[in-house]
Amino acid sequence: MANKTKITPEIAETIKSLASENTATAIGRKVGLAKDTVKLWCLKNNVPLALKRREGYVEKEKTFCEMMKNGSTVKQAQIAVGIGDQTSVDFIKRNNLQQYVRTREQVVEQDMRLSAEELRKRLPSPDYTVIGYENNQYIVKAPDGFVFHRSSTKKKWLDPRETSASTEESIKKELKDLGYTYISGFTKKRNRFLASHDICGLVRERNWLGIKNSDCPRCNNNGVSKKETEVASWISELGYETQKYKFFDGSKTRPKEIDIYIPSKKVGIEFCGLYWHSEEMKGKQYHRQKMDLAKNAGIRLITIFEDEWDSNKSQVKNFIKSVLGATKSIYARKCSVKEIDRGLAKDFMEAHHIQGSPRSIDFAVGLFFEGSLIGVMSLGRHHRGFNSKEIVLNRLVFSDGYSVAGGASKLLKKCVDWAKLNGYLKIISWSDNRWSEGNVYRKIGFELEKELNIDYSYIKGGKRYKKHSLKKTAVEKKLNKTESELRESQGYGKIWDCGKIRWGIKIS
């Protein structure tokens, strides 16, 4: 049936009669209208539509509502029934559960406070007293007047003076035994402080266990980290031979080398410890120059930052396996494609994509093989508010162990249809040179629009921070200092990437 542009009184009555038990898509098929046209008409005329419900959706909603009414937090109910943020918001609005949504302060007040009897059980002895409660912790006073804080999650509270390495003085002594000199910053064992290594003078910002259980990175650097060895061993277990690869350019300087090279695939992996690959140790251009050297030698180089391996190891392994071809290959013609809930898309991305899920998703489509979700592509608006006629392809990911020939094209077709229906003129995206050569974009019809310069992230205390998360505050803007100068004074360093490429495809 051809799409109709005008809703006649007869069609309006039909929509009303179908709305309570049918989705906009189902009604559109029956009356020959686009689903968005049906949605808009129902919204203007206050006609409620039935929601699209996956298998088990009704039962999930019922369980979610019961948990909320019985005092659970939104996050607890979400996890219990397996839904995302947007779905939980829909449940709350549709069932008028706003009165049961508790603020963080209310959660602390209702769930964290302990009874007088429980407090007596946790105190070191009856001579100790609780004198206050702040920042989710109890303030405890010892018989001699010494005051300390304890969390309600601890089953037994000990006087910190009776445990080793729990005061500033005890930390100084313990550090000296390990060959370090305490500098400043100690508050609690689990919090970071500054100490210098007596042998080499390296100042480390770590907590007590971080210094106690790890060697000095400067004194013990032999060029091969334990984590790099772990990556190489795992690749060998997949059945691939690995070796070092050196670039000889005729100069007398020490040749650059690729940490892990798989000759049978002409793929190299550069594993970057955040400290040893920082701007201070390697400079700005190091990673980009090594990528260019590899490219000229016909080698695809993947550059992994240490924190990615630490926090997203399974996702990194999934990506490397797909590059090496160590996956089950299937054809897209054997798969089905359909729009999926944003919560489901986010859960899939968190499980399989190195970057997790994006900040926003306007549309998500899934690729299904034999009833199982094996791929997701999503679109969303750019957080910097780019052209309203452009939408961003912000994620494309397949599940661990699968390679789908034609899968990206099949997912993109569905995304293009949605973008066109919603008035967008172009889909844009970016590939990260540390991971991708951008071939998948070329294959599905995107054109290279711009090669972007290298960029940096901030690093501090073994963690990496996106630079836009550390923009100048309102107070800092009044100071006559750049963002980099401010962060450097606060102990932040920088680590540089290999640049990115912007891609675009016009919607005709």
Query: What confidence score (pLDDT) does residue 260 get?
Result: 92
Give phi and psi for 327, each to the nearest 5. -135, 165
Give phi and psi for 487, each to the nearest 5. -70, -35
Spatial CA neighbour of 64 closest among 459, 72, 352: 72
Please count the residues of the chain.
508
Residue with more model confidence, 290 or 101: 290
Give Cα 370 to chain centroid, integer Å.
28
Please say if the pLDDT value at position 106 is more than 70.
Answer: no
Please say if the pLDDT value at position 4 is more than 80.
Answer: no
Q: What is the mean pLDDT of residues 10-33?
A: 85
Task: Tell me the whole-structure pTM to 2 decimals.
Answer: 0.58
Query: What confidence score (pLDDT) does residue 408 get?
Result: 94
Contact criterion met (CB below 8 Å) for 277 and 497: no
Query: What confidence score (pLDDT) does residue 298 get?
Result: 94
Coil vs helix vs strand at 112: helix
Spatial CA neighbour of 494 closest among 293, 278, 346: 278
Residue 22's DSSP bridge partners are none
**Cβ neighbours for 443, distance < 8 A, ≥ 6 positions apart:** 408, 409
Q: In whole numbers, what is the pLDDT of the chain averaged over residues?
A: 85
pLDDT tens-place string over residues 248-305: 765 555 678 898 999 999 999 999 988 889 998 889 999 999 999 999 999 999 999 9
pLDDT tens-place string over residues 442-471: 999 999 999 999 999 999 888 899 988 899
Contact criterion met (CB below 8 Å) for 221 and 230: no
Query: What confidence score (pLDDT) does residue 104 get?
Result: 57
Q: What is the mean pLDDT of residues 55-60?
A: 72
pLDDT band of residue 99 (cuts 50, 70, 90) is confident
DSSP annotation string for 47-105: -PPPPP--TTHHHHHHHHHHHHHTT--HHHHHHHHT--HHHHHHHHHHTT-GGGPPPHH
pLDDT band of residue 495 (cuts 50, 70, 90) is very high
Distance CA 74, CA 77 (A): 5
Query: What confidence score (pLDDT) does residue 1 get?
Result: 41
pLDDT band of residue 111 (cuts 50, 70, 90) is very low
Distance CA 278, CA 458 (A): 9
Q: What is the mean pLDDT of residues 94-115?
A: 69
Distance CA 358, CA 394 (A): 7
pLDDT band of residue 3 (cuts 50, 70, 90) is very low
Query: What confidence score (pLDDT) does residue 51 get?
Result: 64
Residue with more model confidence, 105 or 16: 16
Residue with more model confidence, 153 or 371: 371
Please say if the pLDDT value at position 2 is more than 60.
Answer: no
Superfamily of domain 333-506: Gcn5-related N-acetyltransferase (GNAT) (3.40.630.30)
Please say if the pLDDT value at position 23 is more than 60.
Answer: yes
pLDDT tens-place string over residues 155-195: 778 877 665 556 788 888 888 888 899 998 887 766 788 89
Q: What is the mean pLDDT of residues 384-402?
A: 84
pLDDT tens-place string over residues 316-344: 999 999 999 888 889 999 999 999 998 89
Q: What is the mean pLDDT of residues 411-431?
A: 94
For the chain, the structural domain boundaries read 9-44, 57-101, 113-162, 168-212, 333-506
Put residue 6 in one of left, alpha, beta given phi > 0 → left and psi -120 to 50 → alpha.
beta
Segment among 100-104, 128-132, 293-297 with least mean pLDDT = 100-104
Checking DSSP bridges between strand 447-452 and strand 500-506, what pairing results, if any?
antiparallel
Distance CA 82, CA 61 (A): 11
